[in-house]
Structure 1
Amino acid sequence: MVKSVRTPVLPRTAAWRDIWSLAWPQTLLMFCNFLIGFVDVWVAGRIGSDVQASMGMINQLLFFFLVVATAVANGSVAAISQSMGAGLPRRALRYTGLVLEAGLVMGLAIFALGMFIDDGLLALLQVPDGLRPITSYFLDVYLLLLPVYYLFLITHAVFRAQRMVFVPLFSGIITALVNTVADLGLGLGMWGLPNLGYQGVAWATFFSVSCGTLFNLFVLWRRGLLRRESFAPWCWIRQAWPYLFRVAWPGGLMQVVWQSAYLALFAVTGSLPHENVAALAGMSAGMRVEAGLFLPGFAFNMTASILVGEYLGAGRPDMAKRATYRILGVGVAVLTLVAVGVWLVMEPLAAFVAPDPAVQAQAMGYLRWNLLAIPFTLTSMILAGALAGAGATIYNLLAFGCAAWLVRVPTAYILGHHVLGDSTGVWISMFVSQVFQSSLALGIFHFRDWSKFAMRRRKTLTGATNGTQLRTH
């Protein structure tokens, strides 16, 4: 028995207090992540529009670099939380070591690949000659950061899977503080620090994520989760890896499918017959407001992953479903009230993020339709978290992929280019796709046997349950 890994005592159903105790620290963590991105963009804008443009392109590329890390993180939450619910702390410990090894190896591999094809990546992004030196510098620093960033994301997932939600919160606070100080100090030359301009902004990201990662690894070591016993022999890895892979690859592919659909939506918006430039700017401004609005939504998504994994590990799919519906009720109620509040102040919010009157009108149109979609969007998010905790990420790929490419993009093109002829068609397509997506996800969750994707305990020849034995399907 690994004493440092405490098996949770699961109640008969998820209490409101239990849900809230997991959700609010993760909401604050999401706010820290939001603050990091906001400060980066703000400081880059103060240095120059060319720096802001370069950062935007590289951040888009960084998302694709981190898809594998996100996929492994999702798989680790499913595997570790189910192991904890099953009362198998040794299996949870070994999965912790496995995902850390996988993250480090994959981060190094993608770093090496990126350094080899960095010129080709810049050409693929069609970076203008005037932005190429800045964009190239950002790319080099971010590639160097990749192995550390992989460990940063995966260690956060490991802590969440074991209900240690305050550790990622403290890590997020450290990361946000270091990033803010380094951005302002090195990027703008404040507090007597050397004014490095865009180079300082790039290194601010490097230093802040590195500090957060070191903090996570230190806590893992102090909690007894990073020790020799965490790294299992090959015979165990050969049995354990297939389950992790089956959970991870659909989640990673879903991220690629969803993000590529957003790129297609930008292309549809940018080619509208009327006011396409204002529509693009309004879409970007509206997304900034929407990103802040969904901070609690991501917290409820992660809470559903944790609880569903634990209940399935304990062999109680009925409790997993009941807990998900309770989280869904709380989440939709809270975010709907927040959406009503945002609706009441929509005009001043749009004016704040988009001073230009034409862009402001487009931002309000974007927000109007996406605020109406809040109950449907949040339903999709929470159910996606529950299915990920069960290891049923293939269903998420199905629901999100169909909604994005079979509904959203075609509807945006037809309404935007041929029926309405303006951005309203694009905004309507987003609403319609969210209704479709949430309906499909709800149907899958309610009627399909997603619990079959969870790991099962099995008995050894002596009849005792062994934490090193597992069956993956």
Structure 2
Amino acid sequence: MNELTFFQKLKKILNIALPSGANSFLDIFVIAISMFFMGKLSDKHIVAVGVSMNFFMLFYTINAIFYIGTNAQISRFFGAKDRENSNLVFSTILIGTFFACIPVLIIAFLGYGYFLDWIELSKDARDLSEIYLRVVIYSLPAMFLKNIIISGLAAIGDTLTPFMIRIFTTIFCIALNYALIFGTFGFPRLEILGAAYSNIIVAYLELFILLVLMLSKNRYLSFHLRFHYLFFQNALKIGIPAGLERLLTLFSLVLTTKFLSEYGDNVLAGSQIGTRIEAFSFMPGFGFMIAAMALMGQNLGANRVDLAGDFVKTILKISSVFMGILGLIMAIFSVEFSSIFTSKEETLYVSHFYLLAVGLSQVPLIWVFVLDGALRGAGITKISLWINAISIWVFRIFPMWVFIHFGFGVEWIFLMIFIETYIRAFIFWLVFRTGVWKRPGKTI
């Protein structure tokens, strides 16, 4: 079999990574626009939406179980040219996820009040968060189901279709946000409640469009009313460690938010602004991670272990250059980016220092993304779980708690984010070099 040239590998990588990254960009862009609109109201509105999104993100842990379980299995079957089982996996997990959404929605509805009490916001910020969450949690089923469809499409290398749909829904979402938040175009002025209504409407619209496409029998991947327990069981076996990893990672972000809340609303607002700006770097990062996951699975399914490793190394080279440049831009222009959202000096300072820390650690962060994605594509999710859990909680959260306990400034919190990212990237690389991911075959 002929080896692929660098440019052939580059083309395959970018065909998956660019639309996937652009799709992620649009997701983040909508959140950033919503934060921008909230900033026109008050810093408390920024805090409310930011904290609410932290609660919402906790449920990505459950979504990750099905997302990774879908991608890892379909990419293997796709690489082995087994269309029938690709569709059976897709249909099985979509049906299973639908039923899983019911208890998830109940937990979200019953739990958001306890979450807000635990964060200990000011009364105004808490009240605004409750108004927002009371509505937006109903978009969870739409988020779960549409992400399964997107995962299945990514597994076969089709990240363009979700991106094209997202372009349309993004434009609609921004217009609807503006209309409902500020009361334009004849709509009532609903402020933060308008942002919540906009997000839930667009989530279900996007799901509807994707479902219509998946019912087409002419597509490689299509939905059929069939359920195979073994594939659902495999999805849980592969996905549960990934879900636990995501839970620990996201909970560490929530805990960091709680740590920062002890410094006051201005500091918390600054960190939330910095986080939303940093989120734009997740756009290409997510795209490269999806490319690593899909190409690893496809090539292992085709029994091309050598090519699977080659693709991962190529992705690391390309992404390091891209993310290194992006990180420098983020660090150098941190104040200018932050001033889009606020003019308060203390809030700007906190956002600037946060962006400096994360901007200068974008290269190791993309190594974490890519190598984590590669291990997931190989179905080795337990190793990723242990690496992320140990590194984040030992080298990030514990030192943060010590600094808070002894009254250190907020700068030390951000310094630990910087240091821990380098440590975790190094551990991932050491594990990848052992070759533990070399497990060819169309089943995991």
| TM beyond 0.5 | yes
Q: Indicate whether 1:394 and 2:382 are aligned.
A: yes
Once the two structures are superposed, what CA deviation does each residue of 1:253-277 show, in whole Å capped at 9, x if it has no partner? 11111122223333444557xxx76
CA 1:362–1:140: 2 relative to 1, 3 Å: closer
The 8 Å contact of residues 178 and 204 in structure 1, kept in 2 or not, is answered as no
The 8 Å contact of residues 70 and 154 in structure 1, kept in 2 or not, is answered as no
Of 92, 102, 109, the match for 2:103: 109
Of 339, 343, 348, the match for 2:336: 348
Alignment partner, residue 432 of structure 1? 419
Matches of 1:23 and 1:231 in 2, distance apart?
31
Q: Indicate whether 1:247 and 2:241 are aligned.
A: no
The 8 Å contact of residues 174 and 208 in structure 1, kept in 2 or not, is answered as no
Q: Percent identity?
A: 18
Q: Indicate whether 1:258 and 2:249 are aligned.
A: yes
Once the two structures are superposed, what CA deviation does each residue of 1:209-246 show, in whole Å capped at 9, x if it has no partner? 11111111111122444443x614xxxx2322232112
TM-score normalized by structure 1?
0.84
CA 1:190–1:72: 2 relative to 1, 3 Å: same
Alignment partner, residue 326 of structure 2? 338
- Residues 43-442 of structure 1 aligned to structure 2 (within 5 Å): 43-47=37-41, 51-115=45-109, 123=117, 134-222=128-216, 223-224=218-219, 225-228=221-224, 231-232=226-227, 237-271=228-262, 279-414=267-402, 418=406, 421-442=408-429
Deviation at 1:368, TM superposition (A): 2.5
Deviation at 1:97, TM superposition (A): 0.2
Matches of 1:352 and 1:133 in 2, distance apart?
25
CA 1:126–1:422: 2 relative to 1, 3 Å: closer
Over the aligned positions, Cα root-mean-square deviation in angstroms equals 2.8
CA 1:148–1:277: 2 relative to 1, 3 Å: closer
Matches of 1:145 and 1:413 in 2, distance apart?
34
The 8 Å contact of residues 82 and 309 in structure 1, kept in 2 or not, is answered as yes
Once the two structures are superposed, what CA deviation does each residue of 1:399-432 show, in whole Å capped at 9, x if it has no partner? 11111101012233445665x9323322221121
The 8 Å contact of residues 108 and 146 in structure 1, kept in 2 or not, is answered as no
Matches of 2:274 and 2:44 in 1, distance apart?
22
* Structure 2 unmatched ranges of 5 or more: none
Tell me the amino acid that sits aligned with residue 359 of structure 1: T
Matches of 2:30 and 2:393 in 1, distance apart?
31
Specify the SS of the correspondent of 2:188: coil
Matches of 2:330 and 2:117 in 1, distance apart?
40
Tell me the amino acid that sits aligned with residue 247 of structure 1: I
Matches of 1:319 and 1:51 in 2, distance apart?
49
Larger displacement relative to structure 2 (278-287 or 121-130)? 121-130
CA 1:269–1:61: 2 relative to 1, 3 Å: closer
Structure whose CA Rg is larger: 1
CA 1:427–1:227: 2 relative to 1, 3 Å: closer
CA 1:195–1:156: 2 relative to 1, 3 Å: same
Would you identify which runs of 4 or more consecutive aligned residues in structure 1 move more than 6 Å?
Answer: none
Matches of 2:400 and 2:119 in 1, distance apart?
24
